[in-house]
Amino acid sequence: MVPYIIRRLFIAIPVLFGVTIVNFIIINMAPGNPVDMYIDPNTSQEQLNLRKEQLGLNDPLWLQFIHWLSNLMHGNLGFSFSTYEPVTKIILERIGPTFELMLLALLVGLLIALPIGIISAVKQYSKLDYFTTGISFFGISIPHFFLGLGLIYFFAVKLQILPAGGRSTLGSEGDFLDKVKHLILPVLVLAVGIAGQYVRYIRASLLEVLGQDYLRTARAKGLKEFVVTNKHALKNALIPIITIIGLEIPLLLGGAVITEQVFQWPGMGQLTIQSIMSRDYPTLMALNLLTAFMVLFANLLTDIVYSFVDPRIKYK
């Protein structure tokens, strides 16, 4: 097991390197550059050129990449082109809020999905099943911005019981209750989408297991139907779900671009969009590197967890 993990970690290095090169090329291929953003008409061409020179944008691409890479080796991700702050600092400030939002959304989503998925599998083709299936499709397909704006309109504007956005009330010291109130709507928007998907996964996965022989054996030896479904069947049905949850882990740090925009949540999704719009290359590179790393890490983690849950799987 341990040698396997070490081997996987070594494989990750060239993959990460490849990802950064591709990212670097794509980011630089996007038309426009940070200097084009200055719309102050009093800036002369020479001043714009000087600014490019200062940002290192006049160097050939491969040299820029080497600079970036050598800085990275020294643990320096560079400075943002729009705020001039160290990128590491900007990202560290954003990870917390995003993680908080995404983890809660995932948990709430799963907690909603689990019982509904089970019921809908057990009562396959019943009216209840059709109903929950309908609801889950609604959850999957409703756009986040639409649901978000709808909830804001209803809870913040009409009822005035929840805030319309942000992470805490500006000017207040931000007590716990205040933070919870700010979390409710964005978590709900994300959880609805997550729950919708997982109801489908859990239902499908459980249905596959419910027809298996060992369940007939379990019933034959006189176990209650509740135990059969929720213990024998569900345990095996959840194995593929673990893979799917594992694949969500990068999202926990990547953030939810649209929901964060709608609720002005100071997270990674918002940072990503703003960095793209302002062509903030160093921040974008760092965000991509982090996401690539998280994807690789999550895959490894999923594989490891798999071997614990399913004894048939062994790594050498």
Q: How far is it, in rounded angstroms, from Cα 48 to Cα 36?
A: 8
Q: How many residues of this chain bind other proteins (CB under 8 A)?
A: 71
- The first and second tokens of residue 244, run together, are 């799917």
Pick from 257, 259, 238: nearest CA to 308: 238
Per-residue binding letters, 37-76, with other proteins (x by CB under 8 A) = xxxxxxxxxxxx-xx--x----------------------
- The first and second tokens of residue 140, run together, are 């999957």
Residue among 19, 119, 149, 244 that touches other proteins (CB under 8 A): 149
Whose Cβ is closer to other proteins: residue 270's or residue 291's? 270
Whose Cβ is closer to other proteins: residue 78's or residue 246's? 78
Any contact of residue 258 with other proteins (CB under 8 A)?
no
Residue among 20, 205, 236, 261 that touches other proteins (CB under 8 A): 261
Any contact of residue 266 with other proteins (CB under 8 A)?
yes
Q: How does DSSP classify residue 86?
A: B
Half-sphere exposure of 177 (CA within 13 A, CB side): 1
Whose Cβ is closer to other proteins: residue 16's or residue 156's? 156
Pick from 299, 266, 248: nearest CA to 91: 266
CB of 11 to other proteins, least distance (A): 34
What size, in residues, is the chain? 316
Q: How far is it, in rounded angstroms, from Cα 94 to Cα 187?
A: 17
CB of 108 to other proteins, least distance (A): 7
Q: Which stretch binds other proteins (CB under 8 A): 3-11, 79-87, 207-215, 249-257?
A: 79-87
Whose Cβ is closer to other proteins: residue 155's or residue 296's? 155
- The first and second tokens of residue 153, run together, are 């309109």
Residues 164-223 contacting other proteins, CB under 8 A: 164-167, 169-172, 177-178, 180-181, 184
Rounded CA Rg of the chain = 24
Any contact of residue 135 with other proteins (CB under 8 A)?
no
Q: How far is it, in rounded angstroms, from Cα 264 to Cα 270?
A: 8
Whose Cβ is closer to other proteins: residue 200's or residue 279's? 279
240, amino acid identity: P
CB of 216 to other proteins, least distance (A): 18
Whose Cβ is closer to other proteins: residue 46's or residue 213's? 46
Rounded to 10 deg, the angle between the 281-309 and 87-122 helix axes is 40
Any contact of residue 233 with other proteins (CB under 8 A)?
no
Whose Cβ is closer to other proteins: residue 3's or residue 42's? 42
Residue among 5, 15, 30, 313 that touches other proteins (CB under 8 A): 30
Q: How far is it, in rounded angstroms, from Cα 263 to Cα 259?
A: 6
Any contact of residue 141 with other proteins (CB under 8 A)?
no
Backbone angles phi, psi at 229, to 5 degrees: -70, -55
